[in-house]
Amino acid sequence: MEKNRLEAFSDGVLAIIITIMVLELHVPHPTDQRLHPNEFIDLKPLLPVFLTYVLSFIYLGIYWNNHHHLVKAAQKVNAAMMWANLHLLFWLSLFPFVTGWMGENHFTTAPTALYGVVMFMAAIAYFILQSVIIAQHGRGSKLAMSIGRDFKGKFSPVMYAAAVAAAFFRPWISCGLYVLVALMWLIPDRRIERALD
Amino acid sequence: MEKNRLEAFSDGVLAIIITIMVLELHVPHPTDQRLHPNEFIDLKPLLPVFLTYVLSFIYLGIYWNNHHHLVKAAQKVNAAMMWANLHLLFWLSLFPFVTGWMGENHFTTAPTALYGVVMFMAAIAYFILQSVIIAQHGRGSKLAMSIGRDFKGKFSPVMYAAAVAAAFFRPWISCGLYVLVALMWLIPDRRIERALD
Amino acid sequence: MEKNRLEAFSDGVLAIIITIMVLELHVPHPTDQRLHPNEFIDLKPLLPVFLTYVLSFIYLGIYWNNHHHLVKAAQKVNAAMMWANLHLLFWLSLFPFVTGWMGENHFTTAPTALYGVVMFMAAIAYFILQSVIIAQHGRGSKLAMSIGRDFKGKFSPVMYAAAVAAAFFRPWISCGLYVLVALMWLIPDRRIERALD
Amino acid sequence: MEKNRLEAFSDGVLAIIITIMVLELHVPHPTDQRLHPNEFIDLKPLLPVFLTYVLSFIYLGIYWNNHHHLVKAAQKVNAAMMWANLHLLFWLSLFPFVTGWMGENHFTTAPTALYGVVMFMAAIAYFILQSVIIAQHGRGSKLAMSIGRDFKGKFSPVMYAAAVAAAFFRPWISCGLYVLVALMWLIPDRRIERALD
């Protein structure tokens, strides 16, 4: 099985997920209170949805970037890898839903927790895909060594789990954690790993 | 005609179908009864849609995987193959509709039967595509031999037909059959074929 | 400019158009009259939309197929070709809208005429793209000769124009013409050209 | 990191954005006033949305075209370029929203200004991507020289800013400026640069 088509399919799904999310940003439609919702004030209720969209966009960007490096390093594609990849895409495909629910409900408990659950599952799915690829190449392979101890990959799900728990007390802490993890991935690799060590 | 672009187009359509299905999972919107649908309980009506989504996602994953192997084996692309491929994509494009209808109506008779009809037609369309490719390469070709007696490919439509019939008596039997066929395809090839022989 | 990316972009847009059209096939939602729209009878109002979907799907398949052959024959890509291609994609992108409007209004005059207008414009846009590519290669080129007198390409817009006119008297004649032109393209080339000569 | 996949992902996102925009062109649905919205008159309220769609379609076509040339010229892909590219895609992904809002509200102040803001941000994002790629290749590189003084690239954001300001007094001036900038990009390069110098 050629890597080529696995990449093309994943690119397609990720590109669609990232773009479909923007559909949750509904153009304000006329209501009885606002016959012509054409002022900046009419966008105010959309602000939380927009902020969540930005956050999810960054996360999907990070996933696309990491996925790219990971699959590039893989030398061949087998069935396990194919299904591990589909499993990851499944959890990522739920991003538009949780993004919309969290944004529309202004970061209240349940939606904020669910967002974390999907983040957690996606992180686990990525970890599985990575393990499948490493297993295929051997622990001593160049790929395995380049991933190394994988601090970020192991730390992220812990943070997501903490965020899910925090949502039941202070949802804004969860949101803070989501932003923090995103920043951790955005800042170039080595320095942060050293700093956090 | 180059195989390359047939694959790219099919990948695109499959990626979009698989992702568009998630739009049937509507973010719960305020109603008169629930002004702020932001509790986990508000997701309860979505559970059947979610389960159907998971099932359809797996089916589309199986189709993508098999399609990949099949087209990879083909040496050239002709008009018959192109139209057989579009015919398959047509039936797969109805997945989001039947997924949404079955999920929203909690697996009642008509939607469950229609789901099976579309599954049946997609299976037939895949069989036609496969036959067109085999015909092109000859019955003694490596491709024809690797497909072999094609137990799963012939057994699946029978199961779908049975599921359509069962929907008029016990829709849950139909759902069980859909899950069973999916599992049959997920479990690696040889063992199950031997077991079922 | 590489042909490669023009093809990839066109494939992407066509794949999305063909798949987005299915969103016009709305899952029947509860109304005051039908609290649980889960019978086959509830699909009856969708039948015209479904039939229009099938027709548009076939047309887009024909366009994809022809587009593929045309671009494959082109040796280089220039700005004129790029914009002629985008112009074609623009008219094709209106297919979901006209498909939905014609289907939902059961083939009444205005929607049926508008469907023909968009078909007509897409045919003209294809003709322009083809002319741009031929101009680039010269009238004596292999490409120009393989296209030949282009009977179908010139006959189709005439038929669409006739269908638009017919819509104001007998919309069913228009629908018949749309089906006829689709069949003309589906049936393999040489025989029909000879028959019609 | 291979350029190949960056291009494929960008093509995918652009193709989806360009096609998803057409969903803002809602098929007219029955209301109490119009039980059967099947006359040409029922399309009248859609005209501004349609015109905005045409404008945005042309802009996305220009971006796709320029993006293609720019990335083609790049010799390697690094993390900075990847994120600069995602940043550009982010602003472009807001096109369907601002297109819908401006179109549905008939070019009133706030939507017309917001359209300009997103245009402005996309132009800046493109400029950043271009600078990142030039920095990577060196100021004396062939790429840097081919881009030259980049009159259009610097003039466009100024025009967008002017359009945003104009929206608060005469929104039609803003619309005129949007059309003007699009024309400036559509007309082949050298002549207009000379004319404007």
- What are the structural domain ranges in chain A? 3-196
Scan residues 147-186 of C and list those with Cβ closer than 8 Å to D.
none
B27 touches A24 (CB < 8 A): yes
Cα–Cα distance, A90 to B61 (Å, whole number): 10
Across the interface, do B68 and A5 touch by the CB < 8 Å criterion? yes
In this prediction, residues C175-197 reach a mean pLDDT of: 73
Q: Contacts of residue D110 in chain A, CB cutoff 8 Å? A: 38-40, 42-43
- B20 has a chain C CB within 8 A of its CB: yes
The pLDDT value recorded for residue C157 is 94
**Contact yes or no for A110 and B39 at CB 8 A:** yes
Question: For residues A91 and A63, what is the distance between their CA atoms, to the nearest angstrom?
Answer: 12
Closest to A178 in 3D by CA, of A194, A190, A162: A162
Whether C64 and chain D come into contact, CB under 8 Å, resolves to no
A167 by DSSP, 3-state: which?
coil
- Measured between alpha carbons, how far is residue B92 from residues A190, B117, C4, D160 in Å? 45, 12, 27, 43
Distance CA A162, CA A178 (A): 10
Q: How confident is the model at residue B136 (pLDDT cuts 50, 70, 90)?
A: confident
* D23 has a chain A CB within 8 A of its CB: yes
Cβ pair B120, B181 in contact under 8 A: no
**By the CB < 8 Å criterion, does A27 face chain B?**
no
Contact A19 D24 (CB under 8 A): no
**Burial call D76-105: b when 16+ CB within 10 Å, e when fewer:** ebeebbbbbbbbbbbbbbbbbbbbbbbbbb
Instruction: Give the per-residue pLDDT at C192.
Output: 44
What are the start-end ranges of the H helices in chain D?
3-20, 47-73, 79-93, 95-104, 109-137, 142-147, 151-166, 171-186, 189-196
Cβ contact, residue pair A90, B57, below 8 Å: yes
CB contact under 8 A, B38 and A110: yes
Query: Is some CB atom of chain B closer than 8 A to the CB atom of C8?
Result: yes
Question: Burial level of C144, CB count in 10 A (0-12/13-18/19+)?
Answer: middle
**Which of B7, B19, B37 has the CB atom closest to A13's CB atom?**
B19
Q: Which chain B residues are within 8 Å of C8, Cβ to Cβ?
A: 8
Greater confidence (B144 vs A160) lies with A160
Instruction: For residues C72 and C65, give the distance between their C-alpha atoms in angstroms, rounded to a whole number.
Output: 11
In angstroms, rounded to a whole number, what is the distance separating the alpha carbons of residues B34 and B25? 18
Judged by a CB distance cut-off of 8 A, whether residue C12 touches chain B is yes
Q: Hey, are the CB atoms on A20 and D24 less than 8 Å from each other?
A: no
Tokens 């508000």 appear where?
Answer: B42
> pLDDT for D52-103, tens place per residue?
999 999 999 999 988 888 887 787 788 888 899 999 999 999 999 999 999 8
CA gap A148, B90 in Å, rounded: 45
DSSP conformation letters of chain C: --HHHHHHHHHHHHHHHHHHGGGGSPPPPP-SS-SS--SGGGGGGGHHHHHHHHHHHHHHHHHHHHHHHHHHH-----HHHHHHHHHHHHHHHTHHHHHHHHHHTTT-HHHHHHHHHHHHHHHHHHHHHHHHHHHHH-TTSHHHHHHTT-HHHHHHHHHHHHHHHHHTT-HHHHHHHHHHHHHHHHS-HHHHHHHH-
- Chain B hits for A101, CB-CB cut-off 8 Å, are 27-28, 38
Identity of residue D113: A
Determine which of A37-41, A136-140, C176-180 has the lowest per-residue pLDDT on average. A136-140
SS3 for A85-143 is HHHHHHHHHCHHHHHHHHHHCCCCHHHHHHHHHHHHHHHHHHHHHHHHHHHHHCCCCHH
Q: What is the pLDDT of residue C29?
A: 80
- Cα angle B38, B43, B49 (rounded to 5 degrees) comes to 150
Yes or no: say if D161 and D193 are a contact pair by the CB < 8 Å rule. Answer: no
> Does any CB of chain D come closer than 8 Å to the CB of residue A42?
yes
What's the rounded Cα separation, in Å, for the pair D67 and C5?
11
B141 or B116, greater pLDDT: B116
**Which pLDDT does position C167 carry in this prediction?**
94
- For C10, residues 6+ apart whose C-beta sits below 8 A from its C-beta are C67, C71, C85, C89
Chain C residues close to D22, C-beta within 8 Å = 20, 93-94, 96-97
Contacts of A41 (CB under 8 A, 6+ apart): none
Closest residue in A to D11 (Cα) is A15
H or E segment to which residue D89 belongs: helix D79-93
Residue B195 neighbours by CB distance under 10 Å? 8
Average pLDDT score over chain A: 86
Among the partner residues B16, B24, B82, nearest to C19 by beta-carbon distance: B16
CA dihedral A126, A132, A133, A136 (to 10 degrees): 180
Predicted local distance difference test score (pLDDT) of residue D107: 83
Write down which chains contact chain C via at least 3 CB pairs under 8 A: B, D
Q: Which residue has the tokens 């170039």?
A: A188
Of B12, B57, B65, the CB nearest to A12: B12
Q: What is residue B34's DSSP assignment?
A: -
Name chain D contacts of C16, Cβ cutoff 8 Å: 15-16, 19-20
Q: What average pLDDT does range A117-122 have in this prediction? A: 96
- A26 or D114: which leads in pLDDT: D114
Residue A196 or C150, more confident:
C150
Q: pLDDT digit string (tens) for B76-129? A: 788 888 899 999 999 999 999 999 999 888 888 999 999 999 999 999 999 999
Q: What is the pLDDT of residues A63-74, one digit of tens each?
A: 998 888 888 778
pLDDT in tens, C80-136: 888 999 999 999 999 999 999 998 888 889 999 999 999 999 999 999 999 998 888
Sign of the alpha-carbon dihedral angle for B140, B146, B147, B148 = positive
Is the pLDDT higher at D83 or at A139? D83
Q: Which residue has the higher pLDDT, A88 or C133?
A: A88
Q: What is the pLDDT of residue A190?
A: 55
Give the chain B residue whose CA is nearest to the CA of A92.
B19
Alpha carbons A46 and A27: distance in angstroms, whole number: 9
Contacts of C18 in chain B (CB under 8 A): 13, 89, 93
Mean pLDDT of B36-62: 90
| Shortest alpha-carbon distance between residue C71 and chain B (Å) | 11
User: Which region among A27-36, B62-71, C174-183 has the lowest average model confidence (pLDDT)?
Assistant: A27-36
Q: D touches which chains (3+ CB pairs under 8 A)?
A: A, C
Mean predicted confidence (pLDDT) in B166-183: 93
Q: Is the dihedral of CA D24, D26, D31, D37 positive or negative?
A: positive
Whole-number Å distance between alpha carbons of D41 and A60: 43
Does ipTM come in above 0.95? no
Helical ranges in chain A per DSSP H? 3-20, 47-73, 79-93, 95-104, 109-137, 142-147, 151-166, 171-186, 189-196
For residue A39, the chain D residues in CB contact (below 8 A) are 110
Q: Collect all residues of chain D within an 8 Å Cβ-Cβ radius of residue C105.
A: 36-38
Q: Are A24 and A100 contacting, i.e. CB atoms less than 8 angstroms apart?
A: yes
Q: Do C68 and B1 touch (CB under 8 A)?
A: yes
Structure tokens given for C117 = 């207008």
What is the average pLDDT across C13-25?
89
Residue numbers of chain D with a pLDDT score lower than 70: 1, 148, 188-197
Q: Determine the Cα–Cα distance for residues B37 and B32; give it in Å rounded to an integer.
A: 11
Is the pLDDT at C4 greater than 50? The verdict is yes
